[in-house]
Chain A
Amino acid sequence: MTKTIFRYFFDFVEGQEQWLNEMAGKGYRLKNCGVCWYTFEQCQPGDFSYSVAFVADKSYREAKTYRQFLEQSGFRVLTKNINLNLSFGKLRWRPFAKGWGQLATLPGGYNKELFLVEKKHDGTPFVLHSDLAGQLLTVRAIRNASLWATLCLLGLFAMTFLPVLRAGVASSPWTFAGRLIAGGLGVIFALFAVRYTRLITELEEESKTLE
């Protein structure tokens, strides 16, 4: 029996990971996922554990090699998006990539910003990074991506005021809606940037004495 759940995680690493593990604990194994839905099949409760890897900052080739490595190490890997579909013609915006990689013109790594990695449960907690340095790299990548997203959304937010400033025309309801969405999302990602910056500080503090 399969079960489909529609859901989107703004808290795409920790929140999503926790939820997948809760589902597995209740006996639902992730079978497939799409832009904002997940399909589960029944399994023995606690048979599988999940870890979410942030790979949006990796090039298409780097991500592919990493995925191969994980699969060859016995894990199952599904790709998952963070981006919702923001596209203009053939040009797609990927707020989470680095620099110019943000504008994607080929499918490549678009909508594959995350790996959902599944491991058959063996009694030990499932983490992808057992060292502080590796954890720091991951957390930094997420923080930088959140900062970029915040900046871009603020830019969009500001741009909605351009017509008002230049021509003095009142904003249409659509402009208001766009402004609200850009502003709201901007705040969400700003909060993530703050949270991950705190995490970075904690890990850096720890890495002064520990490896």
Chain B
Amino acid sequence: MAENIVLTEAVYYILLSLKEPVHGYGIMQNVAQLTNNRVNLAAGTLYGALTALLEKGWISALPEADQSRRKEYQITDSGQAAVQKELERLRELLRNGEGIYGDD
């Protein structure tokens, strides 16, 4: 994995939503709820991100019971590692920002 990676907001929240298996629509609802409707993932954005994450191997699609069921996704180990790295980066961002502008 590359040393300096920055996740997009969409990818970050998608990964947070996939600790348990969830389908696409569930991710949108989950993200809206987590952010008090600040982040509303558009369907095309979500689809693009899911496709890219599947290719990267950060999430996996659960085998479908039958065609009519909604496809469910879940985070993989490498996906969890990416989230951990991102959390570290975000802590640093916050620490530096608050250190400099925090008292204003």
Residues of chain A touching chain B, judged by Cβ–Cβ distance below 8 Å, are 53, 66, 69-70, 72-75, 117, 124, 127-131, 133-134, 137-138, 211
Among the 9-residue stretches B36-44, B77-85, B93-101, the one with 4 or more Cβ atoms under 8 Å from chain A is B36-44
A-B contact pairs, 26 of them (CB 8 A): A53-B44, A66-B47, A69-B24, A70-B43, A70-B47, A72-B23, A72-B24, A72-B70, A72-B71, A73-B25, A73-B43, A124-B40, A127-B42, A129-B45, A129-B48, A130-B10, A130-B40, A130-B41, A131-B8, A131-B45, A133-B8, A134-B42, A134-B48, A138-B44, A211-B8, A211-B9
Number of interface residues of B (CB under 8 A): 18
> How many Å lie between the Cα of A124 and that of B40 in the bound state?
9
| Shortest Cβ gap from B30 to chain A (Å) | 13
Residues of B within 8 A of A127 (CB): 42
What would 10 more interface pairs be, CB under 8 Å, given A70-B47, A134-B42, A137-B48? A69-B24, A69-B71, A73-B28, A74-B25, A127-B42, A128-B42, A128-B43, A129-B44, A130-B10, A134-B48
Residues of B within 8 A of A117 (CB): 43
Are the C-beta atoms of A129 and B42 separated by less than 8 Å?
yes
